[in-house]
Structures are given as structure tokens and as C-alpha cells.
Amino acid sequence: MAEQPTRDSSSSSVVPAGRKSPQPAKPTQPAPTPARAVRARPAVAKGTAGAVKHPATPQETLPPPRPLRQWMVMVPSWLVSMVVHALALIILALIVFPEKNAFQAALTAFEVSDQQVEELDDIEIEDPQPTEQIEITEAVEPTPEAEMESEQVEIQANLEDESVAEFDAKLSDFGTIEIFADNLTDRLGAASEGTGLGGRSNAAARRQMLIAHGGGADTERAVAMALEWLARHQLPNGAWSFDHSLAAGPRARNVGNLRNAYNGATGLALMAFLGAGHTHKQGKYKKVVLRGLRFLMSRINPRTGSLHEPGGNMYSHGICAIALCEAYAMTRDKTLRPFAQATINFIAYAQDPNGGGWRYNPRQPGDTSVVGWQLMALKSGHMAYLAIPPRTVQGAKFFLDSVQTGSGAFYGYTGPGRGPATTAVGLLCRMYMGWKHDEPALQRGVEFLLQQQERQRNNPYFYYYAAQVLHHYGGDHWQRWNSKMRPWLVKTQVQNGPEKGSWYFPGGHAVQAGGRHYCTAMSCMTLEVYYRYSPIYKKQSVEDDFEE
């Protein structure tokens, strides 16, 4: 190899490698010292013969007091450093994470109730340790879709970081969490019809509503089979996945391709259990529900109350908010209250400040589909006597006005239109926001949904929302709808084999993303419609709307 030139440290010239650089000639006179290196002459103190006293320079400081100086000499430096760093860490922890401590305390209190929960009768699921955190995403092989979602995670993290201050400012819009008096049990218990959830947990009331509104033994059997399927596919850490092969194994069929949406999948499953009256305090599946609630509580952002996630975005948050609010309303477990209220607070913050809607990310211009889940979460919070910002509901009303046609009979996605599913969502929202039974636009919209029933058979999303609209509307319209819906869903449920109790509708809305888990949860909730919510236009229903 050729020799590389080197640079002489005392000169800017380049000297070939292997040769000695020439020695500089010795100066005839000593080189002057730079000005900044000149020391001040020692001054002789007055009255002292020959005594030399150096004046203090700017870099010098007065010595510490004698006792402190002796202590510093005696104590090892490493011990001083350790004490100082420990104090600094404690101070930082107290300053940076005050909100998280409150949530962690509530979560710990919630875990204590697990000691009072009995084992399942016929399903054995290993109970994880309270502090166990299982990274279930590691079981999924990397795919191009997963890489894209990883980028979305980073984008969302940046978004949340940038909006923290704005979120804090928005807190003043709806104030602090209101703590009700000790008669909360009376308010939710004695007036159970007023919550709209009165027919769930009470077996006698549920049976009465089932028969009165067109259900029967066949629909209850289908619901029971669906809940068994969902319970079998719960993951060890309490979550569910749209890719149910994580629980069932590689032979599972019709898995969803929606990754990183464990919050949303868990919220949907919990809604199905809660809809049939199963809570973490009562019912055959109380241990299953407990694990699911605990998972959501561990995933909530302790600062913002967000359950937003890259795979499910604001869909996931709205669904989880419904589950937490309903669990609190049904059990009056005070441990659930701050979590449920926090999810409502985040919905208020995430609303588009201009258009009044919601979409995938916080404060993004809305679409009717995402709006439906958020508004239903607000209504669930209202039925649980949580604090609901009136201006948030008014904003949602403004959004619905912007996507309606036919004076409110039909609704589009992000603009005026008349899509079947979006119309069902829009009409249900209008009902909960105070529309009366004789509203002409509501009557035309209900007729439109009946016309779409046969065409939308493989669309569990349409069936879920349309069934609620027709059930609340009642009368002959509900009878016509139920006479086709009931036999269709009972007939299409898998009756045997490893997928017994589940549904799958190829080509339906969001079916490819949500898979068999999504179809099963949505169809199960549709068959719970007979008692899941009290009919709005009945005396025992929610008479007070929440738009004022």
C-alpha cells in the first residue's frame, strides 16, 4: 500500500509518512507568555514583613464553613453523589407523574376485587399476575402492514406530545370530575329504567323484555353460544384480538387482518358480555369480564384518558369508552368511575373544533361512522351519571346537520348522502339527541332501513345499528324488521366444530379487517337488542335527552 501523508502537529504542512519532520530552530529569546496566562504579582500585605497574600481570582470561591468542610472531607465522594442523585430522582418522579399515581392506585384497588371472584364453571383460563404484561404483538410475524402501523405509532406519539398543552387547556370546558353523594346507588338502582340498562342484569326483567320485544329461546341460545366462543378466545392477559388465531392457534379460520387493535377488539367483546348482563361482579363470565376490564384500565393513557391506538384509532377509543361506562353504570363500582370519566373527557378533547365530528385521529374532521361510536359513548356516560360537556353534544349535532339529506332522513359519510349504514348511525344518534317519534324525517329514514334489510344481510355493522333504530322506533316497523332479522342470524351461526357459536359474513363491511371476532361480537349484540337498551319511546326508557 502507498504511504499516506501525515500532518505535522506543529505546522500546517503535510509531511510524507516515514520521514521525521524538521525540528524548529530554537528561539534566541524566550517566547512571550499569552496575556491570559500571566499571573498577578503577589502583593505584600501591609504590616506583615515578607508575608505573601494571593488576591482572589474570578475562578476562586470562598471556602465552605469549617464543619461542612470537615464533613465533605470525611464522607466519601461516591456516597455524596448517590444521595444527591436519589433525591433528584424522587423530586422528578413527584413532578412529572402525578396523574399516573392516581390511576395506578385505582387499578390496584380494582385488582383486589379479583380475590372475591369465583372460578368459571366450565372454562379454565389461567389468571395472570396483576403486574404481568404480555407483549402479544410479538406473536405476529412482521408484515408490510405491520411496518406501516409502526410508522403510524410514531406519528400518533408525536401528535399526542404536541397536543398535551392544548388538552390541558381544554379541561376547563367541562370542569373537574364531579363526585356524587352516597345516594348514587339509589339513583342508579331504584331508577334502573332511567339508565336504559335496567333489563340486563336482572334475569326476570331480561326475560320479560325478551318476550315482549320479539326474542325467544332460539335467540338466547345463540347469544349463549356466542359468549362461549368469545370466552374461549380471550388471551391470557385479558385482551382479545381480531386475529383470533393468537388464542385458537394457526388453524383458526377467517382471522381479521387488523393488527394493533387489541383495545378495540377487547371493547367489542366486553360490550357483548355486558349486553347479556355479565359483569365483573355477577354472571357466569364475571372472571372473563374482570380480565377484560383490567386490560383496558392498564392500557389507558393516565394523562389524557385515551385508548386511541394505531390499528383501531378513535374507533377503539369510542368502543372502549362504551364498555367502561356501561360496566360502571351496571355495577356502580367506584373504582371504574375515574377511568370511565377519563374516556369521556378525551372524547370531548378529540372532537373536531370546527366541524363537531370525530375521525381517526384527535381533532380531525369527522365521519359519521366514528361519530356514532363517540356519541353512543357519551350517551352511555350520561346514563351512568358522568359529566358530559353540553358543547360537545352540540358540536355532534352540528356535524350531523352537515352530512344529512332529506331534512335528516338520510346521512352520508363525510358529506351529505344516503348510505345504508351511515343512515342507521345518524338516525340512532338523532333519537338519542331528542328527536320525537313523530318526526317526519325519522319516519322516512326508518322506511329506508327496512328497504335495505335484504341487501345488507352480510353487513353486521348495518344490522347492529339498524336493529337498534327499529327496536327503539317499535310498532309494526319493528315487527317487520325482527321477523327477518331473527331467523337470519340464528340460521347463519356456526353450530358445530371449533368455530361453534361464531359468525362470519364474507364481503361484509369491515369483515376482512375484523374477521370472525368482529362478526361474532356485532351479531351477538344485535341479538341482545331485545333487552340491551330500554326502548326510547316507551315510558320506562330514557326520557331526558342530553343535548341541553
Cα 101 from Cα 96, distance rounded (Å): 10
- Cα 386 from chain centroid (whole Å): 18
Which grid coordinates are listed for 185?
Answer: 346507588
- With cell 351479531, the residue in question is 523
Q: Which residues of the chain have pLDDT under 50?
A: 1-62, 96-102, 111-195, 539-544
> Which residue from 474, 453, 471, 470 is spatially nearest to 462, judged by alpha carbons?
453
pLDDT of 132: 32
pLDDT of 235: 97
pLDDT of 199: 66
Cα 81 from Cα 88, distance rounded (Å): 11
**CB atoms near residue 118 (< 10 Å):** 7
Q: Where do the H-state alpha helices sit in 351-474?
A: 368-383, 390-403, 420-432, 440-452, 460-473
* DSSP classification of residue 291: H
**What single letter denotes the amino acid at residue 400?**
L
Cα 324 from Cα 315, distance rounded (Å): 14
Strands 410-411 and 14-15: unpaired
Burial class for 490, CB neighbours closer than 10 Å (0-12, 13-18, 19+):
middle
Q: CB-based contacts of 122: which residues, under 8 Å, 6+ apart?
A: none
Q: What share of the chain is helix, strand, coil (3-state, %, to 5)?
A: 55, 0, 45
Q: Where do the H-state alpha helices sit in 433-474?
A: 440-452, 460-473
CB 233 within 8 A of CB 244: yes
pLDDT of 71: 54
For the chain, the C-alpha Rg in angstroms (whole number) is 33
Catalogue all structural domains in the chain, each as residue range(s) with its CATH number: 166-532 (1.50.10.20)
**What single letter denotes the amino acid at residue 26?**
K
pLDDT of 395: 96
Cα 101 from Cα 82, distance rounded (Å): 25
Cα 439 from Cα 301, distance rounded (Å): 41
How many helices (H) does the chain have, and how many strands (E)?
22, 6
The 3-state DSSP class for residue 528 equals: coil
For 323-334, the DSSP string reads HHHHHHHHH--T
Cα 95 from Cα 93, distance rounded (Å): 5
The 3-state DSSP class for residue 72 equals: helix
Q: CB-based contacts of 65: which residues, under 8 Å, 6+ apart?
A: none
pLDDT of 509: 86
Helix H or strand E segment including 88: helix 77-96
- pTM of model > 0.75: no
> Which residue from 405, 345, 430 is spatially nearest to 171, judged by alpha carbons?
345
CB 210 within 8 A of CB 222: no
- Cα 517 from chain centroid (whole Å): 19
The 3-state DSSP class for residue 69 equals: helix
> Which residue from 228, 314, 236, 326 is spatially nearest to 279, judged by alpha carbons?
326
